[in-house]
Structure 1
């Protein structure tokens, strides 16, 4: 019996008579997948789960921290849970309102709603000397005030699902008070500065001189919304660049011939194939992808991205989060885009947002983060060799609105400081639990470079439950799914979506191999070739990890044969050739060569495996 299994079983026997078989959870999308795992027929461990949710309704960030015209940048194929899918004819990318409706339908379908205690705020979690955890909470009164009566729950297990995007992160910006000084502005507009969580509609942007701090997906959305709202000036500030791709690939022209999808544009996250995918993040892959981007769009910085490029040693999937909010790029590209007519004829990416009336001549100015503001409210940009820094060095930029699109931070002030509780950074076992403290899990606290958090949370929940049941194969292999970061990086919890998903699936015996697909197939043998093709050419859909293993679902084969197969066929012959077959053959060859070389060196005694 491994130590994780022993720890969980010992706690279960010791406290079964005194504690609820429960794990209080704070509702986010991550919770829903975890809660689903404890419903029949998946529930095979004596939990009695209870959910504590501070808000008045479900939805978390997707309901309470959203804004006008916001849509998911991850496709429905990769965002929906494994056994509750949307219709084939539903648009690939949902609005946030649609996604919250989907979550409500999910709760209703699986009978989750009855276990959720809304308007319940956790104020303290402490260790019980007798074992387990004491969760103290208050509830909201009809008046809207938090009650003063403190209630408690004794819990053997706790899953924290508060999410990555809750508490705004606002960096210090010297001189920001001068921007807010009304005397520095002659337009009559009241100056202001706020975090992007406070932005709700275009009306807040019309007629303003706007500086947006941050070029993540929210910053890009705000730049586009400001241009469409009729802002007087938009300056978008980037610390160290970004890697831009559209959330859905559109049409290309090669030597004047158009290549279009048969049905619609194809979501970028569903183009990534499974077989040999973990080799795709290798620098060799980045070299190939950069040249392909140059051929198709004229630039190696990103897809039709002419400025804001990352540092050379960070330009690639192994290092960054792909920015899939692409609508502002034509506005940003205008001062920089330059390509000969011959190259443009040879190959051209057709961006549907190139012509965006009104303000078709409007420019979103890219700039570095300002070092400070002068007493007259003018921004000072640090000197740099970046193209945008050189262009903006002598510009007189005096915003009357500063928006911090600078992300969020995580706090766990409710965890008792004397309890020795871990944080997500301490979760050394697959980023879910800390070794020796497996009764506390962090679900949904990793961010994929390409992909979506909800299906990752689902796999994390499967992993944690298997861990508590002693069903995880040990010892665990060394992880190779983290994105590469510098020591000074602000975000250190990035993972490669496919590598992380497949790692968790292998840990719990849910990764379907070809032999398993042959002998364990639920349907007729003629479909086996199709299933193998799907698992190779499809992205890391969680549904694939429910074909076999402890969480196998009778719905998985049908989903893979319909919706997921449809996603593959929509790429068309050329798309599957360029994005599927050629990369797989190439990287399988690279892997085979590297493995063979390593074995030869090992046999020669030059290296050790």
Structure 2
């Protein structure tokens, strides 16, 4: 069964590996990976930049059965992660199945069955695409071309006129963040960055370090800032600073958050709302603000402020420079509790400020930015400023391109079965087209590949329960592919029979693994302890690396972030089960 995997980023690689590993006499999967670039890695390699680091931890991001050394630092550089992917290919013998410099130009239905995948190759000089088209008859197609490929550049009035009159316009360079590579592009310049996602934050910080004259960071509707490593809190003079900090994405526990959750509780998302309520109050006590972790400006609207709605921005290096004009907290409260900003490691100007501003509504012919009037704090500060950037960077995200698919094929946003396939078209899968609010795409892609294989083999439980994992967005929202990482992962695991039961874990693997599963996050390795994708290495990984993420919290940390939430949510779920029993006894129907 020939399977064409389009894309050699982490999603495509893990899909090919999963297919190879689960091939059998009835389903002799024979995957082939087509990649248009000259190497593997996708966005992590070809849209990377100087000093870029992962914001998801190695514990969560690493694939289930190929781990990094225990002593390795928590957050890899992009170069280190690409090397990890190379090692992954070598370990699982994927290199022979890689066709680099091969661009898919057309996918269409075969008259009998399956698909015809057509692709072209670069010429011998590697600079242009050849004229010859190659074809593959495939039984299945996995599309893993990635969320972050085609730059999305919004139209802003006035930009085109700048191109027509360079003499008067201050803007001499305008490019997407995909073209940003090093600090040298920013040195000595007045820089404006459009977008306050993690890339925008990174570039703003890099501009400061490069010695930019001015840095203006523009936000559409705000952001939610949290550090990727929880560290640097002080309570009554006692500093919580540990040797390495605690990765944010390793903190959410399984028991009663993802395992043993009543459908009514899951469907109401009450767990998200309660945790948001508690976190906001805790943040106020520790840092003085509820907008984010020590975030004093750029806050989201109240109805979008929380875990249920947005992607957390875990690039926090720029925050000390952004906060300076706005931070206002009585000094005596800092004696009770405070957040210690990361060290600035000697910036060129110790009092430098990154100016936060609204998205410009237009640019005047001389390059001056015009900001739309609002009640936002950043507008009040910037409304009378004469901002004329020399370098304009669009950190405005990406869009997906499925132009190679024939018109009768679905696209990723039409994949209505767990966001992997469209019902009735299960031979075409979209792997890696979801983004978690807190978490990582590669482990999601691994679980999606296992789900797809189970679906092909008719081993998925049916009917599927409702999807309670999507982040809550408005109907007209620009981005609708956000999910809660742990909820989505556990949902797929339950669908394929890989979610372990507590009794089953204790009986088969003992108390150590059971406790780790209850207190641990939704690591993919947990879903390979039992079930159809069980592996011999999983128990050892759980007892060592994943156990270490729990012990690093300390006793107090595990009480606050583990025991208390578990007891509360277990009680909440128990009440829901009792109410269901009463409802049924009274004659009510339960779906």
- On whether the aligned pair clears a TM of 0.5, the verdict is yes
CA shift for structure 1 position 259? 2.0
The residue matched to 1:358 in structure 2 has which SS?
coil
CA shift for structure 1 position 22? 2.8
Equivalent residues in 2 for 1:423-462 (5 A)? 423-462=411-450
Choose which of 362, 375, 381 in structure 2 pairs with 1:385: 375
CA shift for structure 1 position 572? 1.2
Choose which of 568, 573, 580 in structure 2 pairs with 1:586: 568
C-alpha spacing 1:178/1:359, structure 2 compared with 1 (3 Å): farther
The residue matched to 1:285 in structure 2 has which SS?
helix
Structure 1 partner of 2:8:
27
Choose which of 291, 301, 304 in structure 2 pairs with 1:301: 291
Q: Tell whether 2:254 aligns with 1:274.
A: yes
The residue matched to 2:409 in structure 1 has which SS?
coil
The residue matched to 1:148 in structure 2 has which SS?
strand
Equivalent residues in 2 for 1:2-401 (5 A)? 21-40=2-21, 45-144=27-126, 145-180=128-163, 181-184=165-168, 191-261=172-242, 263-278=243-258, 281-353=271-343, 356-401=346-391
CA shift for structure 1 position 357? 2.7
For 1:154 and 1:607, how far apart are their aligned partners in 2?
A: 48
For 2:546 and 2:574, how far apart are their aligned partners in 1?
A: 29
The residue matched to 2:284 in structure 1 has which SS?
helix
Deviation sequence 1:265-304 (CA, Å, 0-9, x none): 1111111211222567521221111001111111101111
Structure 2 partner of 1:539:
521
**Is the Cα contact below 8 Å between 1:306 and 1:333 reproduced in 2?**
yes
For 1:240 and 1:451, how far apart are their aligned partners in 2?
A: 22
For 1:600 and 1:356, how far apart are their aligned partners in 2?
A: 64
For 1:559 and 1:608, how far apart are their aligned partners in 2?
A: 39
For 2:216 and 2:2, how far apart are their aligned partners in 1?
A: 53
For 2:293 and 2:460, how far apart are their aligned partners in 1?
A: 40
The residue matched to 1:39 in structure 2 has which SS?
helix
C-alpha spacing 1:311/1:596, structure 2 compared with 1 (3 Å): farther
**Is the Cα contact below 8 Å between 2:20 and 2:30 reproduced in 1?**
no
The residue matched to 1:122 in structure 2 has which SS?
strand
CA shift for structure 1 position 601? 4.7
For 2:357 and 2:563, how far apart are their aligned partners in 1?
A: 40
Structure 2 partner of 1:509:
497
**Is the Cα contact below 8 Å between 2:20 and 2:31 reproduced in 1?**
no
Structure 2 partner of 1:478:
466
Deviation sequence 1:8-58 (CA, Å, 0-9, x none): xxxxxxxxxxxx533343222101111111234665621111111111111
Aligned residues: 578
Q: Single out whichever of 345-354 and 111-120 deviates more from structure 2.
A: 345-354
The residue matched to 2:130 in structure 1 has which SS?
coil
For 1:260 and 1:394, how far apart are their aligned partners in 2?
A: 41
For 2:362 and 2:119, how far apart are their aligned partners in 1?
A: 43
CA RMSD of aligned residues (A): 1.7
The residue matched to 1:471 in structure 2 has which SS?
coil
Q: TM-score, normalised by structure 1?
A: 0.92
For 1:389 and 1:147, how far apart are their aligned partners in 2?
A: 52
For 1:99 and 1:580, how far apart are their aligned partners in 2?
A: 30
**Is the Cα contact below 8 Å between 1:195 and 1:405 reproduced in 2?**
yes
CA shift for structure 1 position 320? 0.4
Question: What 5-or-longer segments of structure 1 have no aligned partner?
Answer: 1-19, 522-527
Deviation sequence 1:382-427 (CA, Å, 0-9, x none): 111111121111211111111000000001111112xx10001110
**Is the Cα contact below 8 Å between 1:62 and 1:99 reproduced in 2?**
yes
For 2:205 and 2:585, how far apart are their aligned partners in 1?
A: 58
Structure 2 partner of 1:5:
none
**Is the Cα contact below 8 Å between 2:5 and 2:16 reproduced in 1?**
no
**Is the Cα contact below 8 Å between 2:231 and 2:240 reproduced in 1?**
no
The residue matched to 1:149 in structure 2 has which SS?
strand
For 1:607 and 1:238, how far apart are their aligned partners in 2?
A: 47
For 1:405 and 1:299, how far apart are their aligned partners in 2?
A: 26
Deviation sequence 1:138-197 (CA, Å, 0-9, x none): 1112122211111111011000000001000001010113555433357xxx71100000
The residue matched to 2:20 in structure 1 has which SS?
coil
Question: What 5-or-longer segments of structure 2 have no aligned partner?
Answer: 259-268
C-alpha spacing 1:291/1:356, structure 2 compared with 1 (3 Å): farther
CA shift for structure 1 position 475? 0.5
CA shift for structure 1 position 449? 0.5
The residue matched to 2:31 in structure 1 has which SS?
coil
CA shift for structure 1 position 585? 1.6
C-alpha spacing 1:349/1:21, structure 2 compared with 1 (3 Å): same
For 1:174 and 1:319, how far apart are their aligned partners in 2?
A: 30
